[in-house]
Amino acid sequence: MADRFRLTLAQLNPRVGDFGGNADKAFEAWKSAAAADADMVCLPEMFLSGYQTQDLVLKPAFTRDCMAWVQTLANRTAQGPAMGIGAPYLEDGFLYNAYWILKGGQVVARMCKHELPNSKVFDERRLFDEGAISGPYRIGPMQIGTPICEDAWHEDVPETMAESGAQILLVPNGSPYYRGKFDVRMSKMVARTVETGLPLVYLNMVGGQDDQVFDGGSFVINPGGRLAMQMQLFEETIEHVDFLETAEGWRAQDGPKAVFPDQWEQDYRVMVTALRDYMAKTGFSKVLLGLSGGIDSALVATIAADALGPGNLRCVMLPSEYTSQSSLDDAQAVASALGCRLDDLPIAGPRAAVTEALAPLFEGTNPDLTEENIQSRLRGLLLMALSNKFGEMLLTTGNKSEVAVGYATIYGDMAGGYNPIKDLYKMRVFETARWRNANHRDWMMGPASTVIPPSIIDKPPSAELREDQKDEDSLPPYEVLDAILELLIDRDLSVADVVAQGFDRDTVKRVENLIYISEYKRFQSAPGPRLTGKAFWLDRRYPIVNRWRDPS
């Protein structure tokens, strides 16, 4: 019927560079649309290439290969609904982030992204040329305007499309998670419906790519911001939405409205998804980690069990003479609760050999941090040997507090291929462990039980590299440290601003200095999932060599 338009939304998980695999996913979504008698199926921004490509898209052979797959998809979908799909577009030396409309075996329209984000994790002005604002295209009875992701975060592109005759706005996205991001998206999109008076379809992708997790949560809103349909977070989902033509214009009909979990569950789901997809997309299936009996490694082990299954997790205890019996007992309790393998690999013998080898050169010096770090580096060496021998990716376990101030040994406990808790401050590590003990979901592959013993959560944190060592011997209490770090890093406040909030100036200056002098460690650290808008790597890029300190 001319007064009805059915749109199929494919909230799916692409893989960067896997043009054939991504095309197959798009084709399966198209078949679902055809079976539902839909007029059009939509895939997210840059879906065919995968997202984010970073500088890979600057390689002309990459983009030309991807564009050839667009035509292959057009040929495969010639008889049936139209398809909208994101892919790069290279023409006359100009490179665009584009959205392609396929119908009847042809490319019938192409939009090029106009507003190129150049903040946080995005470098699109470096990668792409700015496209002209496109007018709407017609599919059946409907005129559709397609602002691509950032285009819809600004007024000009949607308003121009509305003024050019668009009857709905379809917004394909590659929008990664950070805590509270969904509310920001919804607020921006509601503003666009108020300004244009048009229904808006917000289509996001899902899945992990390096440090970023695309969380989905696609939705449809009618003019004035009334929610018509909302898809689940993190799940690959295909939904159909009907639009009916009314006297006021096209309006989306009500569909399913997913209820979202709280931020603790969302953060945990991001860490699990990030590790699961990083493993799958890089070709690994098994992981190992050093299980110390402390909170950080216990939480990482739990995340790994939930992401991959306990059978794909090997934990290794590497005790020294400073390792307490309680740590040995707690590590065993974690492995038993998770149902994973636990190997015992003492470092006393290797440490004695290293001590003997260095003795002639260390003669006349006193033991210090050097000897402590040797223990950590021996553990890293042994764990990497197991990783090499058995093809298991080594996970590292430093939380954001430690990563921020360099409370970790480079080439020691920092060794590893991925760090699931890299963007989780220490106090949130404790609370996340409590949350996981109290909650289990169908997407978790680990057991539904208390997997992190309360004794681990309650005991004072310690690296156990010397007698009776506690983290607070070297750092402020974590509740103080984390509060200062959030102000200096996440909010970019000055030292004076932090002091004005009640913190001791000498402590703040000490923390500030630790942040700056640890940059070289972060430069060499393993990637990990982004949970905040100021994660270490692309969100926050500082020079390694830096003599400036805040004079305030």
* Strand ranges across the sheet with 200-203: 137-139, 142-145, 168-172, 200-203, 219-222, 226-230
pLDDT at 549: 94
For residue 389, pLDDT over 80 is answered with yes
What token pair was written down for 439? 């909650």
On the CB side of 99, CA atoms within 13 Å amount to 30
SS3 state of residue 537: coil
Q: In 306-319, which positions are buried (b, 16+ CB within 10 angstroms) versus exposed (e)?
A: bbbbbebbbbbbbb
> How many other CB atoms are there within 10 angstroms of residue 103's CB atom?
22
Q: Which fold has domain 264-471?
A: Rossmann fold (3.40.50)
Which is higher by pLDDT, 33 or 472? 33
What token pair was written down for 71? 């035509």
pLDDT at 472: 74
pLDDT tens figures, 512-545? 999 999 999 999 999 999 999 999 999 999 999 9
SS3 state of residue 152: helix
Give the closest residue to 215 by CA, choosing from 267, 257, 172.
267
Distance CA 201, CA 198 (A): 10
* Strand ranges across the sheet with 249-252: 106-112, 94-103, 82-91, 40-42, 4-11, 237-246, 249-252
pLDDT tens figures, 460-497? 877 666 676 677 777 899 999 999 999 999 999 999 99
SS3 state of residue 298: helix
Out of 25, 103, 113, 534, pick the active-site residue.
Answer: 113
Query: Counting beta carbons within 10 angstroms of the beta carbon of residue 521, is it exposed (0 to 12), middle (13 to 18) or buried (19 or more)?
Result: buried
User: In the chain, what percentage of residues exceed pLDDT 90?
Assistant: 92
Cβ(460)–Cβ(474) under 8 Å?
Answer: no
Mean pLDDT of 261-290: 97
For residue 2, pLDDT over 70 is answered with no
Average pLDDT in the chain: 95
- Answer yes or no: 45 catalytic: yes
In this structure, the chain runs to a length of 552
Out of 25, 42, 45, 115, pick the active-site residue.
Answer: 45
Mean pLDDT of 333-351: 95
DSSP state of 465: S
Out of 42, 112, 149, 340, pick the active-site residue.
Answer: 149
Cβ(340)–Cβ(479) under 8 Å?
Answer: no
Candidates 3.60.110.10, 3.40.50.300, 3.30.110.60, 3.40.50.170; correct CATH number of 4-254? 3.60.110.10
- What's this model's pTM, rounded to 2 decimal places? 0.95
Q: How far is CA 453 from the centre of its chain?
A: 28
Query: Counting beta carbons within 10 angstroms of the beta carbon of residue 364, is it exposed (0 to 12), middle (13 to 18) or buried (19 or more)?
Result: exposed
Examine residue 52 and say whether the peptide bond preceding it is cis (omega within 30 degrees of 0).
yes
Q: Which residues contact 378 (CB under 8 A, 6 or more apart)?
A: 318, 347, 350, 351, 354, 412
The secondary structure of 488-515, three-state, reads HHHCCCCHHHHHHCCCCHHHHHHHHHHH
For residue 400, pLDDT over 90 is answered with yes
pLDDT at 169: 98
Mean pLDDT of 280-284: 95
Structural domain boundaries of the chain? Answer: 4-254, 264-471
pLDDT tens figures, 352-379? 999 999 999 999 999 998 988 999 999 9
On the CB side of 163, CA atoms within 13 Å amount to 9
Give the closest residue to 199 by CA, choosing from 227, 230, 163.
227
Q: In 26-49, which positions are buried (b, 16+ CB within 10 angstroms) versus exposed (e)?
A: bbebbebbeeeebbbbbbbbbbbb
Distance CA 301, CA 436 (A): 12
Q: How far is CA 273 from the centre of its chain?
A: 8
User: In the chain, what percentage of residues exceed pLDDT 70?
Assistant: 98
SS3 state of residue 288: strand
Which is higher by pLDDT, 465 or 169? 169
Give the closest residue to 465 by CA, choosing from 380, 374, 401.
374
DSSP letter string, 414-454: T-SSB-TTTT--HHHHHHHHHHHHH---TT--S-SS--S-H
Mean pLDDT of 2-19: 95
pLDDT tens figures, 98-123? 999 999 999 999 999 999 999 899 99
pLDDT tens figures, 435-458? 999 999 999 999 998 999 999 999
Distance CA 527, CA 261 (A): 26
Q: In 216-253, which positions are buried (b, 16+ CB within 10 angstroms) versus exposed (e)?
A: bbbbbbbbeeeebbbbbbbeebbbbbbbebeeeebbbe
pLDDT at 1: 45
Q: How far is CA 242 from the centre of its chain?
A: 32
- Answer yes or no: 149 catalytic: yes
